Amino acid sequence: MLSEKTVPIVPRPYYNEVFYDEAAYGNEWLINNYLLINYGKTIYGPDIKNLIKYNVTIDDVIGSCVNDFYGEWIPKINDDEWLSNSHNQSYIVLNICRIIYTIFNSKTENKQKSAKWIKERYKEWKNLIEEAEKWDYSKTMNKQDEIKEFIKYMEKIILKK
């Protein structure tokens, strides 16, 4: 699987708070492999650079970010059930910050630094982003409408680029 640049079709086991026997790969395939190639540290076994048989460029990552924004996050504007979950609200805001940061800076960064960059440039979203950053399972976010506007605003930013 690591020999192909295209997103694998065969699902794989996946764990993210819930275990999935079969989960589809998504746009994160190239992003994760880019991060592994450029920042991964081998703890045991062969170097990841010897396992991934293709080059992943920052342009590939930017393309995956754009695809992720339009394929994953734009549809959430119409998914009130998904957006009613506080965890999902925090998750989407911080992921969109990272996507926008990557698209505009042609490099990757963690959610915290990406969020800081967005807050400095788009001050009107500072409060929403800070609430997303501070969120934990003991808190409730009720920002569905504001998040929908945030998504639409960030789409305009992408289109201007």
Cα–Cα nearest to 27, from 51, 54, 60: 60
Q: Is the pLDDT of residue 59 over 70?
A: yes
Residue 8 pLDDT = 81
Please tell me the distance from the alpha carbon of residue 115 to that of residue 132, in angstroms, as a whole number. 10
Q: Is the pLDDT of residue 1 over 70?
A: no
Name the H helices within 7-143.
28-39, 48-51, 58-68, 80-83, 86-105, 111-121, 126-134
Q: Is the pLDDT of residue 101 over 90?
A: yes
Contact 142, 53 (CB under 8 A): no
Cα–Cα nearest to 2, from 34, 27, 24: 34
Residue 108 pLDDT = 96
Of the two residues 160 and 1, the one the predictor is more confident about is 160
Q: Is the pLDDT of residue 89 over 70?
A: yes
